[in-house]
């Protein structure tokens, strides 16, 4: 047995909160975990064209302990924070082991209507991030001994406990998709539900590509458009700034000049869970056309000696299609069928 203290250990009184946050980036099978003194960073990716991450700061935990791994020798620099990969599907199933799922996922095939109704009633009207959703239970303990060891998750509810050790793998890469914050071509802030409604509407056409366009005209307010194209045709959703309205659709729209970029629709659709859970979203394009979607989620911070409510951000970055890729995918029926 190891004589030293574990590198990391933390206790969360809201397993549901962790579950909802991690579901926002659950489009991949594996997730990269980075442990630091400030918190946990979870990141997923699809090829080299999309990545998503969520940072769980230590204030989200009732207890958080980090013991930095010692350097190999006194003359060496401190090692980088521990980074590894685990199976994201297994992690979500572990956090959901006591059925702390969203209402839409509560009833499963073969489940009795009476039991499903009981569970729906139990969690009805409770905020997804509230500890009330867990009653007095749902405590989750995470620990990591060090390089090569498993990530141990200990769950407890109403006197019933279970422990799961998730195998850790060497992280394939720690590089991020570059996004130039100093060269922003477009920035828009809106309620996340508006973006979700637009993507859901466009999904009915089963499109292949989604173009984001923003323009300024001398005689009208700037506007933002989402245009979807596919084998069935094309459709668009327009968002306009309206200074007269007390609740404008776009709270912010910064667009120095006309800008447009195209993306695979399936990649944008992968962010739908984040759209549904978030309060607001910041949509940005840099000069290279890389898309940044930053979702603001309201959470219950229990650490830091005072508790209270806070916010957590879920970040998506998507690489744009080249011009010839956008043209081929939008027109080609054969390409659409192969997908």
Looking at residue 113, its pLDDT comes to 43
For residue 339 the two structure tokens come to: 């997908």
How far apart are alpha carbons 78 and 57 in whole angstroms? 22
Q: How far apart are CA 285 and CA 296, in angstroms?
A: 18
Q: Pick the closest to residue 88 from 141, 29, 32 (CA basis).
A: 29
Q: What is the pLDDT of residue 101?
A: 41
This prediction has a pTM of 0.81
DSSP 3-state of 22: helix
Tell me how far apart the alpha carbons of residues 325 and 329 are, in angstroms, rounded to a whole number: 6
Kind plus residue range of the DSSP H or E element containing 194: helix 192-203
| pLDDT for res 161 | 87
Distance CA 143, CA 150 (A): 9
- Give the span between the Cα atoms of 97 and 13, in whole angstroms: 15
- Specify the range with the lowest mean pLDDT, choosing from 59-63, 189-193, 223-227, 238-242: 238-242
127 vs 61, which has greater pLDDT? Answer: 61
- Which CATH code of 3.70.10.10, 3.90.1150.10, 3.20.20.60, 3.40.50.970 fits the domain covering 8-170? 3.70.10.10
Report the alpha-carbon distance of residue 189 to residue 241 in Å, rounded: 11
Task: For the chain, count helices (H), then strands (E).
Answer: 8, 19
Instruction: State the DSSP H helix or E strand holding residue 121, giving kind and residue range, or none if neither.
Output: helix 113-123
Output the CA angle 149-155-161, nearest 5 degrees. 110
Worst-scoring range by mean pLDDT, 33-47, 108-122, 288-302?
108-122
Range name among 3-17, 84-98, 227-241, 245-259 with the lowest pLDDT average: 245-259
CATH class of 184-338: alpha beta
Question: Which pLDDT band holds residue 240 (cuts at 50, 70, 90)?
Answer: confident
Residue 318 contacts residue 268 (beta carbons within 8 Å): yes
Amino acid 302: pLDDT? 64
CA distance 111 to 109: 6
- How high is the pLDDT of residue 221? 61
Distance CA 191, CA 255 (A): 18
Is 2 in contact with 147 (CB distance < 8 Å)? no
pLDDT (tens digit per residue) in 43-93: 999 988 999 999 999 999 999 999 988 777 666 677 789 999 999 999 999
pLDDT higher than 90, residue 242: no
Cite the residue boundaries of each domain of the chain with CATH code 3.70.10.10.
8-170, 184-338
Find the distance separating the first CA and the last CA of the chain, reported in whole Å: 51
For residue 266, give the DSSP letter: H
> Please, what's the b/e burial string for 167-203 (b: 16 or more CB within 10 A of its CB; e: otherwise)?
ebeeeeeeeebebeeeebbbbbbbbbebbbebbeebe
**Average pLDDT for 142-163:** 91
Average pLDDT of the chain?
81
Q: Are 54 and 293 in contact (CB under 8 A)?
A: no
DSSP code, position 104: G
């Amino acid at each position: 047995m190891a004589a030293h203290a574990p590198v990391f250990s933390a206790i969360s009184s809201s397993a549901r909160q962790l579950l909802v946050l991690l579901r926002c980036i659950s489009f991949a099978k594996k997730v990269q975990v980075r442990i630091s003194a400030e918190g946990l960073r979870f990141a997923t990716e699809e090829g080299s064209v999309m990545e998503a991450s969520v940072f769980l700061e230590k204030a989200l935990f009732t207890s958080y302990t980090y013991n930095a791994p010692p350097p190999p020798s006194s003359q060496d620099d401190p090692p980088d924070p521990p980074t590894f990969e685990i199976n994201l599907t297994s992690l979500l199933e572990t956090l959901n082991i006591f059925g702390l799922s969203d209402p839409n996922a509560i009833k499963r095939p073969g489940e009795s209507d009476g039991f499903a109704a009981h569970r729906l009633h139990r969690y009805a009207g409770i905020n997804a991030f509230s500890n009330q959703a867990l009653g007095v239970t749902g405590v989750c303990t995470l620990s990591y001994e060090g390089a090569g060891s498993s990530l141990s998750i200990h769950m407890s509810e109403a006197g019933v406990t279970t422990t799961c050790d998730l195998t850790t793998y060497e992280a394939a890469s720690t590089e991020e998709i570059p996004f130039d914050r100093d060269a922003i071509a477009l920035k828009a802030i809106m309620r996340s539900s508006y973006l979700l409604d637009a993507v859901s509407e466009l999904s009915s056409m089963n499109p292949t590509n989604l173009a984001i366009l923003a323009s300024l005209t001398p005689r009208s307010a700037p506007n933002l458009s989402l245009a979807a194209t596919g084998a069935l045709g094309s459709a668009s959703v327009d968002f306009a700034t309206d200074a007269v309205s007390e609740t404008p659709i776009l709270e912010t729209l910064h667009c120095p000049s006309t800008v447009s970029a195209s993306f695979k629709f399936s990649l944008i659709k992968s962010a739908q869970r984040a759209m549904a859970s978030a309060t607001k979203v910041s949509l940005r394009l840099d000069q290279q056309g890389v898309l940044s979607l930053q979702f603001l989620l309201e959470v219950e911070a229990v650490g830091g000696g005072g508790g209270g409510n806070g916010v957590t951000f879920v970040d998506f970055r998507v690489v744009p299609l080249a011009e010839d890729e956008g043209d081929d995918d939008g027109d080609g029926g054969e390409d659409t069928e192969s997908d």
